[in-house]
Structures are given as C-alpha cells and as structure tokens.
C-alpha cells in the first residue's frame, strides 16, 4: 500500500467523521435536569415572586441557616407568625434534581432543625416560603452542605 496525499485526506475525513459521531452520541445520552417541571408557569407568575421577596426584605436579614454536625438549623425572625403548614423550605440542588428536598415549616423557639440524612454534600439553593396575614414571603439563600 502506497501512502500519498489522497490516502492522508481519506484518513483525516474518516477520523473527523468518527469524532463528530462520537460527539453527537455522547451529547444525545447526557442527562440534563430542568430547573423545575413547571418552569414556564413560574416565569409567568414571576411578579408574585418579586412581591414575596420584597415582603420578606426585612425578614431576610434575620432569617439565616447554620450547620451542626448532623443537621442544618434554620433560624427564623422572631416576628414571624406563621401557622403550622403554611410554609415550606426547599433545598434545590443545581446539578442534580434527585437531590432536591422540600420540608414543611415546623418551627420551635424560632428554629427548625433539619437532618442532613436526606441531603447530599454540596451546594444547595434554599428557598424559604411562608404566608403571614395574607401576604406571601420568600427568602432565598445558598448553603454548602458539608
């Protein structure tokens, strides 16, 4: 077999086609998670989210999360007067939807203790949502679970 410029071009084209096909198959089987299943509806209702965040603006300075060895402690504002079951705490995992966890707010002495048993280590976006006196409140923050 004689190697000339035509053979080189044929080998180059064959390798290029193999590269492109492997790239297409890899991209086709890559798992991607949506931010939320009802993403478009949430975008349409975004004005209510803005209102809830502005209602919670003062509370966001008092609401914070801290970590213990096996738990996360959510410290609520002392002025918060929510009814049982009127709020949620959502832990959203940006890189894996299987890591998302939602809890109903059940506070004791302005705190709620959440076990880390359902949370994987890594970054979470946390949304604390509650209703008080007919108004919606939303505080968002980030936490890195150790």
Give me the tens of pLDDT residue by residue for the chain, a chain 146 residues long. Answer: 678 888 899 999 999 999 999 999 999 988 777 777 777 887 888 888 898 889 888 766 788 889 988 999 998 887 777 555 578 999 998 888 888 899 999 888 888 999 998 898 899 999 999 888 888 889 999 999 98
Q: Which residues contact 69 (CB under 8 A, 6 or more apart)?
A: none
Query: Residue 78: which residues within 8 A CB-CB, separation 6 or more?
Result: 62, 110
Q: In this structure, what token pair is assigned to residue 99?
A: 């890591």
Does the global pTM surpass 0.85?
no
pLDDT of res. 16: 98
């Amino acid at each position: 077999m004689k190697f000339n410029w035509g053979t080189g071009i044929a080998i180059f084209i064959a390798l290029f086609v193999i590269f492109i096909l492997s790239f297409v198959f890899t991209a086709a089987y890559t798992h991607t998670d949506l931010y939320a299943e009802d993403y478009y509806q949430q975008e349409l209702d975004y004005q209510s989210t803005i209102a809830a965040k502005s209602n919670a603006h003062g509370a966001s300075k008092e609401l914070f999360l801290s970590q213990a060895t096996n738990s996360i402690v959510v410290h609520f504002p002392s002025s918060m007067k929510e009814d049982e079951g009127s709020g949620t705490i959502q832990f959203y995992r940006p890189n894996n939807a299987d890591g998302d966890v939602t809890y109903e707010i059940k506070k004791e002495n302005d705190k709620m203790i959440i076990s880390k048993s359902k949370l994987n280590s890594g970054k979470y976006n946390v949304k604390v949502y509650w209703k008080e006196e007919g108004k919606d409140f939303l505080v968002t923050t980030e936490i890195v679970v150790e």
